[in-house]
């Protein structure tokens, strides 16, 4: 399995290398040291401190005061917490799988050599380069009710288009729709997987079964399950933290009617509008535990559905 | 397979259908870019004209000059900030991450797999869980409002880019390193004079990725910076848009000029980019 695999340990080394080995080991630690310090300072310690702050009343000024589980109790009875958690769960539960399916479809379409392949690849990748703020602003213009070009076009076709981002019932779904636009990375990761499938495997499958979808289901999909796992885990972690699009479109109140209120926005609001660090930290720890459980569950089930080349993991 | 089928008419129809489909999908993906570009050169009234106009007529170049001279959207200053921010992070990432990547990919030491495993955990760690204490520490030192909190972490490295670079460092042949060691070269010299020059292309790829990520970074500059003059473009555009939502032509020009450098950078270097993506460690 690639994530933890290491360069092959050398076979038995001649004796003279004892010293050299020790020198290499020392160099190894030294070279990794800045990063080990960085990880400690910027990941490990903050993680622990977040759990501490979550149990305090802390408003930036003054010292944190221990309050035990009070912040969690406050969250439990906070409608904004529940509303944003619900919005974020719906967002993630739909955006992630739909995005993966579309990305996989595009990768399958891209997986053939034509004169225009390079062009298509570039086009599908471009949205990823668009700053999320700029992209969201452009979509707000495109989807303006009545006067925006999308609704003008839909009305011209005799349809009755929704008010998209201004309609409390449609806004969250519009946000999900917009999140599907930048899927270039996922697509290229899938494409990389497809292009790594050995030619002989692919050709043998062509001979074995004339039906294309047989090949897709029984040969292609199993061989790219590692990429599915990668895209799934990264996708879940990122979509639980969706922030930029939500705050550009809905502000800190999740307009309209809290329909676009996301978890990260409520956390941001608690920390930097109300300076309630304890509550914000409590929200962060809840998200951490949820993401951790989800990730562990995915990795645990991955044993049964992810296929690694060579069979061993 | 395609060679055998090429001649038959049904294959030709298939090919045509394929390209028609792909071009249609491409059009959907490109539409927002196109709309942003043409709207940047229209007046507000022209942007919302009904029926829609597909080309700005006349081309309102004055949108560009008026954006560059506005007091409430110091675009030039923010552009310079973004270049500084993204450029510094890109250089730091290439240096600091290649130190760790050399250690993980080329050196053998006890505990390496453990530390690398922790790096993967750090890679998966949501920012949301760690940023509060870091923010509080910076605010205690009194450095919020500056770029220090945004740049300093990259002096130490970044899990994602270490992960990415390690793949390339693992490809450096062991014999090359051992030969240099026999010649008495220190590990530092081997890293700097032998491995780094060899990996010039991967390093440029990582630098480009870091540039794009930093250019588009929004959350951290939003929480650390307070002055309009200090914002990078992402936050500047957000602030302008949230205060002057009705001035669409200025917003669109801002979005256009914010996105343009990254799109141009990508188009100029896309071969490298795609090589970088196909080697993110997923074989």
Residue A22's beta-bridge partner residues? none
Are A151 and A45 in the same domain? no
Are A132 and A30 in the same domain? no
Q: Does A115 touch chain B (CB under 8 A)?
A: no
E strands present in A102-179: none
- A109–chain B nearest CA distance, Å: 8
In a domain, A136, yes or no: yes
Are A29 and A119 in the same domain? no
The complex's ipTM works out to 0.88
User: For each of chain A's 313 residues, which pLDDT tens digit applies?
Assistant: 344 444 444 444 555 567 778 888 899 999 999 999 999 999 999 999 999 999 999 888 778 889 989 999 999 999 999 999 999 999 999 999 999 999 999 999 998 888 888 899 999 989 999 999 999 999 999 998 888 888 888 888 888 888 888 888 889 999 999 999 999 889 988 998 888 888 777 777 777 666 777 778 888 888 889 899 999 999 999 999 999 999 999 888 888 889 899 999 999 999 999 999 999 999 999 999 999 999 999 999 988 888 876 544 3
Q: Does A271 touch chain B (CB under 8 A)?
A: yes
Are A26 and A127 in the same domain? no
Q: Look at B157 and A38 and tell me if their CB atoms are within 8 Å.
A: yes
Q: What is the pLDDT of residue A196?
A: 82
Q: Distance between CA B250 and CA B237 in Å, rounded?
A: 10
In a domain, A255, yes or no: yes
In a domain, A12, yes or no: no
Q: What is the pLDDT of residue A124?
A: 92
Are A49 and A85 in the same domain? no
How distant, in Å, are the alpha carbons of A172, B180, B192, B271, B274 from that of B198? 48, 14, 10, 18, 19
Q: Distance between CA A276 and CA B136 in Å, rounded?
A: 12
Q: Look at A24 and B107 and tell me if their CB atoms are within 8 Å.
A: yes
For B91, residues 6+ apart whose C-beta sits below 8 A from its C-beta are B207
Ordered by where they begin, the domains of chain B are 2-62 (no CATH), 67-277 (1.10.3720.10)
Measured between beta carbons, which residues in chain B are less than 8 angstroms from residue A288? 126, 128-129
Q: Look at B130 and A185 and tell me if their CB atoms are within 8 Å.
A: no
Measured between beta carbons, which residues in chain B are less than 8 angstroms from residue A237? 124, 126
Q: Is A243 helix (H, G, I), strand (E, B) or coil?
A: coil
Are A181 and A214 in the same domain? yes
Q: Distance between CA A101 and CA A120 in Å, rounded?
A: 18
Q: Return the H-helix or E-strand segment holding A58.
A: strand A56-59
For A22, residues 6+ apart whose C-beta sits below 8 A from its C-beta are none
Residue ending a domain, choose from A25, A40, A71? A71
- A83–chain B nearest CA distance, Å: 18
Q: Nearest to residue A99, comparing CAs of A165, A163, A154, A179? A: A179
Are A118 and A25 in the same domain? no
Residue ending a domain, choose from A71, A101, A117? A71
Q: Distance between CA A223 and CA A204 in Å, rounded?
A: 14
In a domain, A3, yes or no: no
Q: Distance between CA A202 and CA A219 in Å, rounded?
A: 8
Number of domains in chain A: 2
Are A141 and A282 in the same domain? yes
Nearest CB to A291 within list B22, B126, B262: B126
Measured between beta carbons, which residues in chain A are less than 8 angstroms from residue B174? 7, 10
- Structural domain including A57 reads 17-71
What's the CATH code of the domain at A170?
1.10.3720.10
In a domain, A104, yes or no: yes
Q: What is the pLDDT of residue A309?
A: 62
Packed helices A184-195 and A117-129: angle between N→C axes, nearest 10 degrees: 140
Q: Distance between CA B203 and CA B167 in Å, rounded?
A: 12
Q: What is the pLDDT of residue A310?
A: 54
In a domain, A21, yes or no: yes
Compare all CA atoms of chain A with the CA of B217 and give the residue at the minimum distance. A131
CA atoms within 13 A of residue B256's CA, in its CB half-sphere:
20
In a domain, A112, yes or no: yes
Are A134 and A273 in the same domain? yes
Tell me if B126 sits within 8 A of A291, measured CB to CB. yes
Q: DSSP for A157-218?
A: TT-----GGGSTTTHHHHHHHHHTS--HHHHHHHHHHHHTS-HHHHHHHHHH-S-HHHHIII
Are A62 and A86 in the same domain? no
Q: Distance between CA B86 and CA B232 in Å, rounded?
A: 9
pTM: 0.89
Tell me if A161 sits within 8 A of A154, measured CB to CB. yes
Are A63 and A179 in the same domain? no
In a domain, A252, yes or no: yes
Q: Enumerate residues 68 to 87 of chain A having a beta carbon within 8 A of any beta carbon in chain B.
A: none
Report mean pLDDT in 10-residue bins for chain B, 283 residues.
59 90 94 93 85 84 87 91 97 96 93 94 91 94 95 95 92 89 89 91 90 95 94 94 83 93 90 63 41
Q: What is the pLDDT of residue B278?
A: 59
Q: Distance between CA A225 and CA B269 in Å, rounded?
A: 30
Are A48 and A99 in the same domain? no
Tell me if A54 sits within 8 A of A284, measured CB to CB. yes
């Amino acid at each position: 399995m690639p994530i933890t695999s290491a360069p092959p340990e050398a076979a038995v080394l001649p004796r003279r290398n004892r010293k050299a080995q020790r020198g290499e080991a020392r160099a190894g630690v030294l070279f990794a040291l800045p990063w080990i310090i960085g990880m400690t300072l910027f990941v490990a310690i903050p993680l622990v401190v977040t759990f501490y702050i979550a149990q305090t009343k802390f408003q930036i000024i003054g010292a944190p005061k221990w309050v035990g589980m009070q912040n969690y109790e406050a969250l439990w009875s906070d409608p904004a917490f529940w509303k944003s958690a619900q919005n974020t769960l719906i967002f993630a539960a739909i955006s992630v799988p739909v995005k993966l399916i579309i990305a996989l479809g595009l990768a399958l379409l891209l997986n053939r050599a034509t004169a225009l392949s390079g062009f298509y690849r570039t086009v599908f990748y471009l949205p990823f380069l668009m700053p999320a703020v700029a992209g969201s602003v452009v979509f707000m213009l495109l989807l303006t009710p009545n006067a925006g070009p999308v609704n003008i076009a839909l009305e011209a076709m005799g349809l009755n288009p929704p008010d998209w981002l201004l309609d409390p019932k449609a806004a969250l779904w519009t946000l999900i729709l917009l999140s599907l636009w930048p899927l270039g990375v996922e697509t290229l990761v899938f494409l990389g997987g497809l292009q790594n499938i050995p030619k002989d495997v692919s050709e043998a499958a062509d001979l074995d079964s004339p039906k294309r979808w047989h090949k897709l289901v029984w040969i292609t999909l199993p061989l790219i399950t590692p990429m599915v796992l990668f895209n799934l885990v990264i996708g879940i972690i990122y979509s639980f933290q969706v922030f930029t699009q939500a705050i550009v479109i809905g502000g800190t109140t999740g307009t309209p009617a809290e329909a676009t209120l996301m978890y990260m926005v409520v956390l941001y609001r608690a920390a930097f509008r109300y300076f309630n660090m304890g509550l914000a930290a409590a929200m962060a720890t809840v998200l951490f535990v949820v993401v951790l459980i989800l990730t562990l569950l995915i990795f645990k089930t991955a044993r049964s559905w992810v296929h690694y080349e060579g069979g061993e993991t | 397979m395609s060679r055998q089928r090429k001649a038959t008419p049904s294959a030709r129809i298939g090919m045509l259908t394929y390209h028609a489909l792909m071009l249609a999908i491409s059009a959907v993906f490109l539409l927002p870019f196109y709309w942003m570009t043409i709207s940047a050169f229209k007046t507000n009234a022209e942007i919302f004209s009904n029926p829609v106009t597909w080309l700005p007529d006349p081309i309102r170049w004055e949108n560009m000059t008026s954006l560059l001279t506005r007091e409430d959207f110091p675009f030039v200053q923010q552009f310079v900030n973004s270049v500084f921010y993204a450029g510094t992070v890109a250089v730091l990432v290439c240096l600091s991450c290649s130190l760790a990547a050399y250690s993980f990919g080329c050196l053998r030491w006890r505990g390496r797999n453990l530390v690398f495993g922790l790096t993967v955990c750090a890679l998966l760690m949501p920012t949301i869980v760690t940023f509060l204490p870091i923010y509080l520490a910076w605010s205690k030192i009194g450095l919020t409002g500056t770029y220090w909190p945004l740049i300093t972490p990259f002096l130490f490295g970044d899990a994602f880019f270490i992960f990415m670079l390690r793949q390339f460092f693992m490809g450096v042949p062991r014999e090359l390193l051992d030969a240099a060691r026999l010649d008495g070269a220190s590990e530092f010299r081997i890293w700097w004079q032998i491995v780094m020059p060899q990996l010039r292309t991967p390093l440029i790829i990582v630098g480009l990725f870091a540039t794009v990520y930093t250019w588009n970074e929004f959350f951290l500059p939003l929480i650390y910076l307070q002055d309009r003059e200090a914002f990078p473009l992402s936050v500047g555009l957000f602030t302008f848009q949230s205060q002057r939502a009705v001035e669409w032509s200025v917003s669109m020009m801002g979005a256009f000029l914010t996105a343009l450098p990254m799109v141009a950078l990508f188009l100029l270097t896309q071969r490298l980019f795609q090589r970088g993506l196909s080697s993110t460690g997923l074989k």
